[in-house]
């Protein structure tokens, strides 16, 4: 029974949830495993397994590698009680559920991964107690399904290095792990796996055995990682995974990660996956959100029923040790953009700590309907950061109109750096270099850390002992000043600890004071009167060098004049009917405020907040 139908006929939330769970028990048995979740798509084309963009939750943002069964059940309880009726149904256990000692967002080389005798990964029983005695995720899946939800898990591409080291047999064959492993194909950011050489006998049988096991657990969704970038290098394994899933007879939704997936792979990925990442990990910073506009526009022609370009998770609400850094307007922009572009909606915050505002974003039925059911979605224009998208509302002549103001209230001109380093890597002498910039005539100081562009992670930069030399010769530590804004590509900008979480250190030497951030990071300060010079040592943090690969950054410094005054409320975004294919009078309904705004004829020009958006439903008005 579809959740939407239950909601119309059942009154209280408790009754609605009970009705959805009852639908599980009423599913016909057929060939589907017991405990099947509701509205099962059946065993047809895999595209029918995700007819609308999947909606759910993933453990990565809030819990990293260390999530436990107890925490997963708590998230499922919240989703079933508060979000299921709005379409949220996938609960996904992200990376390293098989690592007993996993912690934070990092990885331990040579960790004792839990495996069976055929080199297939198993849940670590110290973290997932119900998985003991070979039960795997079956008991957790049964619990999730009893709530009317679906269980997802994360899987790294390839075969465990530990299975290759032990040379374990491949189930159902005479070959062993070392026979099929491609030891030259390794993930640049995780040490767990080798690639599988699909030219070798037994390679397909290995993937078949992995997904046979996953299907026997009752898993409904698999996010395969380290596979979508570089896409063309991994096409053989993608095809093998598609074949392995189809052979299980179970409708398992397939998600590919991380991005960004190459646009040249659009045709291939559409034939093999239900969703695929169009960017690297998306976190809660405005620069990262701004970059998604262009990506979603580029991928828009390839979005269709059953296969969805994925703009990544929604870093909203509580993200473990902190709350989202996006402002309320930016959070609405995130939800509006993902919805009008029909990206999957995968929430990343700790749902058990959901605040009222975050809940309002996740339970706006009218906005969710745009993501789930609109059609003919298309970008209309980008006028110097004033952006418009449109879509058709099903079964009517109505249109959805999304307007965005991506301009900065106080714009930063980053075209002419006062200082820019070369790309620094772990091979660089002293791991960094001295920086000195004249700021005598400037009003604003901007510190920028970019990734080195090599496609790896762990791009952890440090501004070591950053300070201002004043006109009278005195020193003011930058860490004693409040920044105007501070963004990091992952985690948060900190004056207390390194990006990896430990003490700040460079080349084995502790840092007396500094600013740590993962690329891409932008930090802005208002310069105090009398500032004459900025000085620091720009370096790679030692924590990044604990990883076998990665860690490359470029530092830039900008000394800028004062920002011009701007209207506090935002900017009008004019839309002429003639330019978007409309004519006549339209009733205007605001989906976010749920208010009727009257009628408009010929044009519309709402004031859209800085970094904000509006989302309207336009309905033809009678003459």
Higher pLDDT, 544 or 361: 361
Lowest mean pLDDT across 10-14, 28-32, 320-324, 574-578: 28-32
| 91 contacts 154 by C-beta, under 8 angstroms | no
Tell me which DSSP letter residue 268 carries: H
The first and second tokens of residue 439, run together, are 């700021």
Three-state DSSP class for residue 206: helix
| 152 contacts 140 by C-beta, under 8 angstroms | no
Dump pLDDT digits (tens) for 138-178.
999 999 999 999 999 999 999 999 999 999 999 999 999 99
Higher pLDDT, 580 or 16: 580
Those residues with Cβ within 8 angstroms of residue 289's Cβ, 6 or more apart along the chain or in another chain = 282, 326, 330, 333, 334, 337
Which pLDDT score, from 0 to 100, does residue 20 have? 44
How does the average pLDDT of the chain come out, rounded? 91
- 80 found inside a domain: yes
25 has a pLDDT exceeding 80: no
320 has a pLDDT exceeding 90: yes
Average pLDDT over every residue of 379-388: 97
Q: Which residue range is the domain that position 528 belongs to? A: 419-560
Average pLDDT over every residue of 481-501: 88
Which of 560, 593, 611 is at the close of a domain? 560
The first and second tokens of residue 498, run together, are 């390194």
State the total domains in the chain: 3
Which pLDDT score, from 0 to 100, does residue 455 have? 65
| Same structural domain, 135 and 249 | yes
| Same structural domain, 352 and 488 | no
- 177 found inside a domain: yes
Dump pLDDT digits (tens) for 26-81.
333 333 333 333 344 334 489 999 999 999 999 999 999 999 999 999 999 999 99
| Same structural domain, 212 and 74 | yes
| Same structural domain, 526 and 597 | no
- Of all residues in the chain, what percent are helix, strand and coil, respectively (each to 5)? 30, 30, 45
Those residues with Cβ within 8 angstroms of residue 185's Cβ, 6 or more apart along the chain or in another chain = 158, 194, 195, 197, 233
| Residue 322, strand partner residues | none
Which pLDDT score, from 0 to 100, does residue 430 have? 82
d(CA 556, CA 539): 12
| Same structural domain, 495 and 457 | yes
- 46 found inside a domain: yes
- Whichever domain contains 452, its CATH number is 2.60.120
Which pLDDT score, from 0 to 100, does residue 456 have? 66
d(CA 202, CA 237): 13
d(CA 462, CA 546): 16
Question: Angle CA(12)–CA(17)–CA(20) in degrees, nearest 5?
Answer: 125
Tell me which DSSP letter residue 261 carries: P
**Cis amide prior to 520 (ω within 30 degrees):** yes
Three-state DSSP class for residue 139: helix
- Whichever domain contains 600, its CATH number is 2.60.40.1180
């Amino acid at each position: 029974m579809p959740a939407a139908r239950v909601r119309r006929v059942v009154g209280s939330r408790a009754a609605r949830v009970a009705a959805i769970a009852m639908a599980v028990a009423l599913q016909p048995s057929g060939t589907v495993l017991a405990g099947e979740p509701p509205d099962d798509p059946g065993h047809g084309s895999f595209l029918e397994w995700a007819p609308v963009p999947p909606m759910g939750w993933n453990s990565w943002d809030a819990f990293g590698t260390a999530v436990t069964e107890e925490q997963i059940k708590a998230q499922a309880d919240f989703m079933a009680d508060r979000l299921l009726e709005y379409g949220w149904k996938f609960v996904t256990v992200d990376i390293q559920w098989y690592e007993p000692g996993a912690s934070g967002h990092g990885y331990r080389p040579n960790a004792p991964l839990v495996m069976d005798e055929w080199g297939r990964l198993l849940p670590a029983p110290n973290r997932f107690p119900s998985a003991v005695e070979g039960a795997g995720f079956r008991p957790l899946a049964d619990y999730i399904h009893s709530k009317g939800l679906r269980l997802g898990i994360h899987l790294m591409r390839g075969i465990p290095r530990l299975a290759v080291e032990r040379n374990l047999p491949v189930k159902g064959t005479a070959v062993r792990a070392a026979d099929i492993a491609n030891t030259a194909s390794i993930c640049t950011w995780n040490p767990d796996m080798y690639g599988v050489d699909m030219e070798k006998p037994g390679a397909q049988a290995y993937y078949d055995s992995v997904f046979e096991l996953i299907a026997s657990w009752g898993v409904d969704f698999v996010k395969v990682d380290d596979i979508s970038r570089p896409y063309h290098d991994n096409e053989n394994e993608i095809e093998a995974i598609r074949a392995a899933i189809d052979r299980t007879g179970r409708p398992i939704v397939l998600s590919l990660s991380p991005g960004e997936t190459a646009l040249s792979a659009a045709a291939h990925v559409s034939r093999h996956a239900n969703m695929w990442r169009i960017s690297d990990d998306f976190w809660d910073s405005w620069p990262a959100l701004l970059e998604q506009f262009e990506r979603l526009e580029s991928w828009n022609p390839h979005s269709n029923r059953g296969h969805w370009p994925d703009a990544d998770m929604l870093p909203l609400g509580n993200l473990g040790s902190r709350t989202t850094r996006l402002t309320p307007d930016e959070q609405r922009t995130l939800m509006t953009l993902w919805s009008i572009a029909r990206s999957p909606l995968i929430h990343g915050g700790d749902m058990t700590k959901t605040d009222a505002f975050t809940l309002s974003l996740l339970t706006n039925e009218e906005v969710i309907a745009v993501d789930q059911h609109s059609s003919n979605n298309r970008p209309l224009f980008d006028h110097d950061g004033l952006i418009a998208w449109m879509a058709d509302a099903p079964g009517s002549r109505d249109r959805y109109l999304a307007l965005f103001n991506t301009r900065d209230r106080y714009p930063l001109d980053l075209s002419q750096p006062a200082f820019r380093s070369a790309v620094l890597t772990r091979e660089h002498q002293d791991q960094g270099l001295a920086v000195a910039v004249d700021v005598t005539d400037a009003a604003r100081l901007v510190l920028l850390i970019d990734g080195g562009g090599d496609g790896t992670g762990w791009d952890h930069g440090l501004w070591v002992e950053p300070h201002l030399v004043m006109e009278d010769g005195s020193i003011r530590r930058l860490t004693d000043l409040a920044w105007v804004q501070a963004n990091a590509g992952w985690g948060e900008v900190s004056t207390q600890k390194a990006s990896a979480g430990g003490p700040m250190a460079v080349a084995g030497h502790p840092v007396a004071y500094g600013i740590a951030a993962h690329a891409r990071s932008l930090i802005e300060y208002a310069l105090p009167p009398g500032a004459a010079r900025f000085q620091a040592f720009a370096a790679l943090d030692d924590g990044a060098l604990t990883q076998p690969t990665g860690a490359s950054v470029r530092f830039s410094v900008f000394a800028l004049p004062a920002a011009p005054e701007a209207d506090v409320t935002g900017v009008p975004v004019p839309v002429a009917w003639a330019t978007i294919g409309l004519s006549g009078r339209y009733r205007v309904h605001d989906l976010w405020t749920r208010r009727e705004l009257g009628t408009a004829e010929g044009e519309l020009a709402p004031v859209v907040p800085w970094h904000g958006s509006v989302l309207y439903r336009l309905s033809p008005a009678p003459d």
